[in-house]
Structure 1
Amino acid sequence: MMKTAFATVIYKQARQYLEEFLSSVDRQTDKDFDLLLVNDNYNSNELEEIQTILESLTVNYKILDISQQKLSIAGTRIEMLQCAKDLGYDLVILGDADDTFSCNRVDKYKKAYWKNREVAFFYNKLIFDNCKDVFKTMPKRIEGIKALSQCNFVGLTSSAINMKSKVITQEFIDSLKESDSPVFDWYLFSRIVLDNGIGVYVEDTESIYRISDNNMVGVSRDVKKEYEVKKVHYSNLAKKDKYYKKLLEKLEGLDINKLTENPNHQGYWWSDIQMEE
């Protein structure tokens, strides 16, 4: 029997959106899953208030309270994956606590899982609340690191992980702690692909993305911020693969002032700085 979780990290900064998130999860057409909530920074009284809301849902829920650990953004997400591993889930569908989702998302991901048991992760379309696509095009399959090396289109709000994949071992999860990446989803899926994990696009379902300047991406393009993010990202991955050592060298050789004057936006996150065709 397949064991599925819909997982997220809950945190105070997204409190005003939490009910919308929960309602979106509760409206799923396939309700055979657990809602797994990892508490980042709510205190005990605030968590009791949230639990009252959870009791009105039609889906089962579990809460992992890690608030006392005072972890980084990356650290909380790693704990979420560890918890899912410990609880024996086959498929973990991910979603940010300030976003909402198509009501068929769980159903579509389960079907994709059964058709692609060898696949390490899945991803779906991302749209704004005005129904416009965040990305103009999405590749149907990711089998090599070049697809993710220059930019990112697989986020923690629009993806799922096959916890039974040969890539997602306990050793792999432990190794994620070696890096405190400022963009953890990009680091996570890059690591999976570097370990020969394959990603597959899930058709006909969506994540509705709420973007603001509180997001790492932000609402406006910032080449200098992209440069700093990529420098950390490439430095982390250079420890794992020589391809990233070359990318880091190329990045450090660029003239950031010229890039600021002539951005080359491709439509994906962190895509203004391109070092390869």
Structure 2
Amino acid sequence: MKVAFGTVIYEEGFDYVLDYISSLNNQTYNDFDILLLNDNLSNEQESYIYDNLIIKPKIFKNMNGLKPHQLRVELIRKAKVENYDLLILGDFDDVFSEDRISSMVAEFDNEFCFFYNELYYMGSTKKFFSKIPDITQDIGCILESNYIGLSNSALNLNYITKHIVNELNGCTNSVFDWYMYSLLLHLGLKGKKITGGKTFYRIHELNIAGKSNDSYEDITKELEIKIRHYLALKNKNIIYSEKLKDYIKLKRDIENKKLNIMDYIDHGNDYWWGKLNLNKMECFKND
């Protein structure tokens, strides 16, 4: 099996480069390649990464101003062109346990299109999500929230056709991971949790997601994210067009002061974008 670890590298994440390099150099499994898509690093910064990685990476650059989601699509496209079977994804600003790659390889199952491992807080033994399912095979699993990120997942590229790659470019939302895995589930593909391996998630001001909080700012941000997410997917399945209608109605009612958004928080959901619960709102229960 031909395995690659892929990352988009960029200026804003270079402060964390030592942790990133150390994570890859300390992997217990070494029969893999490293694919790096250079968004905006200087030649000196790129050379620093190349010189300090034990496994010398394949670096692609001159991305011509691609948007963040387009960079991720291009990384997947490059991996397909290079004929990899498994593309393990990792963000430039995160850290990975020594068995991240070995566990993905050991538990690889060609029945599944994607894989995901546990996410932990940086420098902690605390899991980021209280529980994630062993199998993800239905749109409903991530319809209202998400637990599969670009830094704790991997793709079985044998399932990723040119058509799917082109479909991924249809993402108009900043939350590309949620869009990608929603699309794969819509196509009848499924994912598996890997019991080994960990991703340590760094929370900082540039994170789109970060920790799911109950503040008014975070809840209104979630509402906007969901509207853009369902808008991008509305033509894929009627369930998304219905969700889009519901959340547009919710936004309108909030703006007209018909309800207080803070009264409808699901405190028990710690997934990304999972704090708003329409089932708690009387106006939506019978729609």
CA–CA distance in structure 2, aligned partners of residues 205 and 276 of structure 1: 35
CA–CA distance in structure 2, aligned partners of residues 120 and 144 of structure 1: 13
CA deviation after TM superposition for structure 1 residue 276, in Å: 5.1
Identity across the alignment (%): 34
* Stretches (4+) displaced over 3 A: 218-221
The size of the alignment, in residue pairs, is: 268
CA–CA distance in structure 2, aligned partners of residues 18 and 66 of structure 1: 20
* Counterpart code for 1:146: G
Answer whether contact 1:75 1:180 (CA < 8 A) is retained: no
DSSP 3-state at the match of 1:92: strand
CA deviation after TM superposition for structure 1 residue 261, in Å: 4.1
Out of 225, 228, 233, which is 1:232 matched to?
A: 228
DSSP 3-state at the match of 1:239: coil
Where in structure 2 are there 5+ consecutive unaligned residues?
Answer: 281-287
Q: Where do 1:100-249 residues align within 5 Å?
A: 100-113=95-108, 116-129=109-122, 130-165=124-159, 168-219=160-211, 220-221=213-214, 222-249=218-245
Answer whether contact 2:231 2:244 (CA < 8 A) is retained: yes
What residue in structure 1 maps to residue 275 of structure 2? 272
Change (3 A) 1:49 1:216: closer
Q: How far does the alpha carbon of each residue in 1:29-59 deviate from its partner, in whole angstroms, 9 at most, with x for none?
A: 00110111001112xxx23343244223221
DSSP 3-state at the match of 2:52: coil
Answer whether contact 2:172 2:228 (CA < 8 A) is retained: no
DSSP 3-state at the match of 1:55: helix
Q: How far does the alpha carbon of each residue in 1:141-166 deviate from its partner, in whole angstroms, 9 at most, with x for none?
A: 0110000000010000000000012x
Q: How far does the alpha carbon of each residue in 1:104-123 deviate from its partner, in whole angstroms, 9 at most, with x for none?
A: 0111001121xx11200000
CA–CA distance in structure 2, aligned partners of residues 13 and 57 of structure 1: 20
CA–CA distance in structure 1, aligned partners of residues 101 and 81 of structure 2: 21
Answer whether contact 2:116 2:148 (CA < 8 A) is retained: yes
CA–CA distance in structure 2, aligned partners of residues 26 and 118 of structure 1: 30
DSSP 3-state at the match of 1:253: helix
Where in structure 1 are there 5+ consecutive unaligned residues?
Answer: none
* Counterpart code for 2:114: F
Answer whether contact 2:119 2:129 (CA < 8 A) is retained: yes
Deviates more, 1:260-269 or 1:73-82: 260-269
CA–CA distance in structure 1, aligned partners of residues 137 and 260 of structure 2: 33
TM-score by length of 2: 0.89
CA deviation after TM superposition for structure 1 residue 196, in Å: 0.7
CA–CA distance in structure 1, aligned partners of residues 49 and 143 of structure 2: 41
CA–CA distance in structure 1, aligned partners of residues 278 and 185 of structure 2: 20
CA deviation after TM superposition for structure 1 residue 19, in Å: 1.8
CA deviation after TM superposition for structure 1 residue 217, in Å: 1.6
Answer whether contact 2:121 2:201 (CA < 8 A) is retained: yes
What residue in structure 2 maps to residue 38 of structure 1? 37
DSSP 3-state at the match of 2:188: coil
Which structure is larger by alpha-carbon Rg, 1 or 2?
2
What residue in structure 2 maps to residue 263 of structure 1? 265
* Counterpart code for 2:277: Q
> What is the CA RMSD across the aligned residues, in angstroms?
1.5
TM-score by length of 1: 0.92
